Structure 1
Amino acid sequence: MSLLIVVRHGQASITGEDYDLLSTLGEQQAKLTGRALGARLSAPAVIVQGSLRRHAQTTSGVRSGAGWECEVETDPRWNEFDHDGLLAAAYPQYASRPALLEDLAAHQDPNREFQRLFLGAVDRWTAGEHDGDYQESFVAFVSRVRDAAVEAAAREGTVVVSTSGGPLAVLAALSTLGSADVTPAMAHAWGRFNEVVVNAAVSKFLRGRRPSPTLLSFNDHGHFEHDRSLITYR
């Protein structure tokens, strides 16, 4: 039986100059997630991580917290979609990240404003009406994540994946609908899952008869509930 444990990365630097870097809180989240996993699971056969720095940092924190010395492999198919590209396509004035940061700093709640902009950009991307504006369409994104998940789930034993909210939401949406097709219903489900994924939360999937791994549990972050400040979504 193959078990796929998917961990979203810890909080990244949303309003920093380099998003692809865990915040201090993100580093803490990763270690706490590792501690929670290590308390109830033996070391996995391997940890597969995306090629982004926040994935590697999360892997490091999880391994440290869990006390695991397992092998680590990097697979860029687990990378997140291009946030900056989506924002620039939807809001050309933010083609430059410093311009975005300057406008966000002028708002009373920069995180809430970023969330508003981000969701608008994502909706435009998933609609599929402007695919020429993006280096990777939503359909192509789903396809690469699905392929990576099927390959990982085919391995024997337990595999831990360190990735982002977008790929995790792809697996949850495909499993819930029981189809590998990218339909409007799938895109809608993906968006709903993507909105609520907690940083460094844990989801579990099982290899089954369906085209994609079967969802067992989603977005477990009980190891943060003793301190609500540890629960973040962006």
Structure 2
Amino acid sequence: MPRLLLIRHGQASFGADDYDALSELGHEQARTLGRSFVARGVRPGLLLRGTMRRHAETAAGLLDGLGTALAEIVDEGWNEFDFQHVVEIHRPLFRDRTAMMAEIGRFERPDRAFQQIFEEATLRWSSGRFDSQYAESFAAFRARVAAVLDRARALLAEHREIVAVSSGGPIAMAAALLTVGDSAGTAPLWSALNRVTVNTGVTKVISGSRGLSLSTYNEHTHLEDRPALLTYR
């Protein structure tokens, strides 16, 4: 059965000048996933990815681990939503990166402090009550992911197994859409799924006569024997 494997990027560089670059750990996560695919006999025929640096670097590490080259299609539909913009609308102070780092730096775990603010900001964004304030509303984001899934399904007719390197937001949205569809339940399910996405976690989508179906979400057995590689941010 044709299948689409959605891969969240490796760990990015939280707190660095360029968040979009993978950390050293992120590069190793990507290579580890590629090696695990070889061990499991996963042989994709095509690689899709977003336009972000973390997508490109994760794809490169994955191919390094696979020990092969693949044809690639770069599609901005797989890009993450602009979470910095969403956070800044919620907390205007965070338009100043120095001020943001100073505020969350007061906490013992700055990453957890930012995560709490991030969840508050995305709850506001996904409510649909403030759409005019955002460059891309939650509804527009949902439609973008639905469209890129349709494009991937069309490609599965030729390539029976495809990997797509993306981000937590689009992958969680894909899973929500394939579970509850475009309904009132999409936003809360998306939020719950997005919260637990693992770096280089793999979500399997299968294609059949009824269209695409979610098979597994956020699988990360390739990291379980090396706990230091398990990250969420």
- Name the TM-score class by shorter chain: over 0.9
Task: Identify unmatched segments of 5+ residues in structure 1.
Answer: none
Q: Where does residue 194 of structure 2 map in the other structure?
A: 194
**1:169 pairs with one of 169, 172, 195:** 172
SS in 2 for 1:162: strand
The 1-side partners of 2:142 and 2:38 are apart by 30
Q: Which moved further from structure 2: 217-226 or 99-108?
A: 99-108
Q: CA deviation at 1:151?
A: 1.1
Query: Does residue 226 of structure 1 match 2:219?
Result: no
Q: CA deviation at 1:98?
A: 2.5
What CA RMSD, in Å, does the superposition of the two structures yield over aligned residues? 1.3
The 2-side partners of 1:228 and 1:121 are apart by 30
Cα deviation digits, residues 190-233 of structure 1 (max 9, x gap): 1111001100011110123556x211111111111112221111
Query: Residue 22 of structure 1 contacts residue 54 of structure 1 at CA under 8 Å; is this kept in 2?
Result: yes
SS in 2 for 1:32: helix
Q: CA deviation at 1:38?
A: 2.1
TM-score normalised over the length of structure 2: 0.94
Q: How many residue pairs end up in the alignment?
A: 230
Query: Residue 34 of structure 1 contacts residue 63 of structure 1 at CA under 8 Å; is this kept in 2?
Result: yes
Q: CA deviation at 1:9?
A: 0.1
Give the aligned residue type for 2:99: A
Distance 1:192 1:209, change over 3 A: farther
Cα deviation digits, residues 129-171 of structure 1 (max 9, x gap): 1111110001110111111111112222111100000110011
Q: Where does residue 133 of structure 1 map in the other structure?
A: 133
The 1-side partners of 2:105 and 2:193 are apart by 28
Query: Residue 196 of structure 1 contacts residue 233 of structure 1 at CA under 8 Å; is this kept in 2?
Result: yes
Q: Following TM superposition, where does structure 1 have runs of at least 4 consecutive aligned residues deviating by more than 6 angstroms?
A: none
The 1-side partners of 2:200 and 2:42 are apart by 19
The 1-side partners of 2:187 and 2:15 are apart by 27
The 2-side partners of 1:59 and 1:161 are apart by 9
TM-score normalised over the length of structure 1: 0.94
Q: CA deviation at 1:42?
A: 4.7
The 2-side partners of 1:139 and 1:133 are apart by 13
Q: CA deviation at 1:39?
A: 1.9
Query: Residue 37 of structure 2 contacts residue 43 of structure 2 at CA under 8 Å; is this kept in 1?
Result: no
Q: Superposed, which structure 2 residues align to 1:1-234 within 5 Å?
A: 1-155=1-155, 156=158, 157-177=160-180, 179=181, 181=182, 183-210=183-210, 213-234=212-233
The 2-side partners of 1:193 and 1:36 are apart by 24
Query: Residue 154 of structure 1 contacts residue 207 of structure 1 at CA under 8 Å; is this kept in 2?
Result: no
SS in 2 for 1:144: helix
Query: Residue 2 of structure 1 contacts residue 153 of structure 1 at CA under 8 Å; is this kept in 2?
Result: no
Query: Residue 153 of structure 1 contacts residue 159 of structure 1 at CA under 8 Å; is this kept in 2?
Result: no
SS in 1 for 2:208: coil
